[in-house]
Structure 1
Amino acid sequence: MAESSYRTALITGASSGLGRGLALWFARRGVKVYAAARRKENLEALAQQARAAHAHIEPVELDIAQADATLARVRELDDACEGLDLIVANAGYGQETSGKRIKWETVKQTIDVNVSGTAATLSAVLPRMVERKRGHVVGVASMAAFRGLPRNAAYSASKAFLHIFMESLRVDLQGTGVKVSCLYPGFVKSEMTAQNKFAMPFLLETEAAVELMGQAILRGEAEYAFPWQMKGVMGLVKHLPNGLFDGIARRAR
């Protein structure tokens, strides 16, 4: 198993799913991982599993929906470890937001987590990384960023925000020594997708998705969408004329 060049990493949404898998993936490669999430008991179990594998994971209880507190906590962690090398903003929230019965509470929670909290996580120590001339920030978006999917107005919009946010950061940070990556998973087995009541084509096991994401991060990919089958489908859908897209979406809805 190849070791990573990172000394330290912060991974949010690490109590389950992709975040949990990524925390273990990097810890097993010699990285000191700060695993952040709300569910402390899950993080403690994760840290214990890492210790059994002679790896190092530090649990960090954190609710990224509280953006200002998140900003402060990430800076504290940066101070404590003398500089985070890698930040993976993986935490996310997704519930149905159909335009016919939309609930502001769901829209707000989606924005608080996927937009404000994620932006705070990524922004917290970027100026310090630029000063150090090293670092890597990674946003975990979704292929839902490419079109407004049925019953997913808030989720699709929040991931579209992250898509553009990371693109602008990437342009700005060229030549600074700080890398920027944005990942676009398709459907992956997780607690969040388990609640979906529709077909999920090309569904990936969590472990397989984690391996693809970890390798993409190590390669420093600017953008990485997977699996390739879903990437191909969404690549076509992205460029459909609105009239044709609306008709297909209406039937899918």
Structure 2
Amino acid sequence: MVATGTSAPLVYITGASSGIGQALAAHFRAAGWRLALVARRVAETEAWCRQQGWPEDSWAVYGADVRDTDAAVAAGHACLARQGLPDAVIANAGVSIGVDTAEREDLEVFRTVMDTNLLGMAASFHPFLKPLRERRRGTLVGIASVAAIRGLPGHGAYCASKAGVVSYCESLRGELRACGVRVVTIVPGYVATPLTAGNTYGMPFMLAPEDFAERAFRAIAAGRSYTVLPWQMGIVAKLMRMLPNALFDRLFAGRGRKKRLGE
């Protein structure tokens, strides 16, 4: 029997309308957690929750585009007022769009990626920091990417944003260690989601969203500070980091670029 009362733990997940966010929501709910879901497509996300047959008092959806700092902060405060202080906050909302810095319009795309993936994470965490510090318990989860490890051709904005996520979460971890709030960084490799569906290059060790969610749930529950999923991509990432620049550049010179907006 899955718990539904207010005594059940609460998880707050951004980017919950599809892909990794939706898979995380389903896994946490199956484990007995209440859900606070943030999505741009509110009606669609609410319809999905009802399709799962979940009791209405076990979930709530808050509308926000995390690029809009005020909207992201307001969603967090709405959750506090309606459902209380979450036990875990997962900043998952993200976009992946190729950029060419030589093209003026791509500078705006670069801004969109950074605002969504990095600033949007900080805005998502912000409403909960002070109450979590006061309670001295809870977990903040940042969803990064193995793209944070090395810069890939055509992925400049995405790689930069995810490298920023790793450093930002590391900074937060040091800031919050003394007050008992854990910071967990999850570093996915390739997961079969709409973000990866249009990629034209090889994607080794790809996970189904449900498999990713199960492994991420275990890492979050254990409070692991940094976890690459799947573990095979952790080995690949370490090897990539060790490669001399000249060899790395030759190996990836012919790799397909991430599609630019509109391609």
Cα shift at 1:100: 5.1
The corresponding residue for 2:209 is 206
Moved more, 75-84 or 108-117: 75-84
Which whole-Å CA distance do the structure 2 matches of 1:70 and 1:52 have between them? 25
1:94 alignment partner in structure 2: 96
Alignment match of 1:250 (pick from 250, 253, 256): 253
Which piece of structure 1 moves more, 221-230 or 69-78?
69-78
Q: Is the aligned partner of 1:146 residue 2:149? A: yes
Per the alignment, in what secondary structure is the counterpart of residue 248 of structure 1?
helix
Distance apart, 1:222 and its partner CA: 0.5
State yes or no: 1:58 paired with 2:63: no
What residue number does 2:27 align with? 25
Distance 1:82-1:35 versus aligned 2 partners, 3 A rule: closer
CA 1:239 to 1:21, structure 2 compared with 1: closer, same or farther past 3 Å? same
Counterpart of 1:72 (choices 62, 71, 74) is 74
Decide which of 125, 128, 132 is 2:135's aligned counterpart. 132
> Aligned in 2, Cα 1:109/1:204: closer, same or farther, shift over 3 Å?
same
Cα deviations by residue, 1:166-224 (Å, 9 ceiling, x for unpaired)? 00111121131111000000000001100111111111111111111111111111011
User: How many positions carry a matched residue from both structures?
Assistant: 252
**1:177 pairs with 2:175:** no
Calculate percent identity across the aligned residue pairs: 36
Post-superposition offset of 1:69: 2.0
Aligned partner of 1:16 in structure 2 is 18
Residue of structure 2 in register with 1:110 after alignment: 113
TM-score by length of 1: 0.92
Give the structure-2-normalised TM-score: 0.89
Take 2:12 and 2:219, find their aligned partners in 1: how far apart are those partners?
17
Equivalent position of 1:40 in the other structure: 42
Q: How far did residue 113 of structure 1 move?
A: 0.5
Report the Cα offset of residue 251 of structure 1: 3.0
User: Per-residue CA shift, 1:9-64, capped at 9, x if unaligned?
Assistant: 11011101110011111112221111111112321122213434898221222111
1:188-199 to 2 correspondences below 5 Å = 188-199=191-202
Residue of structure 1 in register with 2:228 after alignment: 225
Counterpart CA distance in 1 for 2:118 and 2:235 is: 26
Residue 77 of structure 1, CA deviation: 1.2
- Secondary structure class of the residue paired with 2:213: helix
Equivalents in 2 of 1:225, 1:6: separation in Å? 28
Summarize deviations over 1:72-99 as a string: whole Å, max 9, x none.
Answer: 3212312332312110000101111144
Instruction: Assess if the C-alpha contact under 8 Å between 1:98 and 1:150 holds in 2.
Output: no
Deviations 1:203-251 (A, max 9, x none): 1111111111111111111011011222111111012222222222213
Return closer, same or farther for 1:125/1:195 CA change in 2, 3 Å cut-off. same
Name the amino acid aligned to 1:66. Answer: D
Distance (whole Å) between structure 2 residues aligned to residue 210 and residue 218 of structure 1: 12
For residues 94 and 112 of structure 1, the distance between their equivalents in structure 2, rounded to whole angstroms, comes to 12
Secondary structure of the structure 1 residue equivalent to 2:253: helix
Letter in 1 for 2:67: A
Task: Check whether the contact 2:101–2:107 (CA below 8 A) recurs between aligned residues.
Answer: no
Q: What is the root-mean-square deviation in Å for CA atoms of aligned residues?
A: 2.1
Secondary structure at 2:254 match in 1: helix
Q: Matched residues in 2 for 1:208 and 1:15: separation?
A: 18
Q: Which residue, out of 152, 157, 160, partners 1:157?
A: 160
2:11 is paired with a residue of what secondary structure? strand
The answer as to whether partners of 2:133 and 2:179 remain within 8 angstroms in 1 is yes
SS in 1 for 2:185: strand
Q: What amino acid maps onto 2:18 in structure 1?
A: S
What is the Cα deviation at residue 119 of structure 1?
1.3
**Is residue 2:244 matched to residue 1:241?**
yes
Q: Is the 8 A contact 2:9 2:32 kept in 1?
A: yes
Structure 1 residues 238 and 159, CA gap change in structure 2 (3 angstroms): same
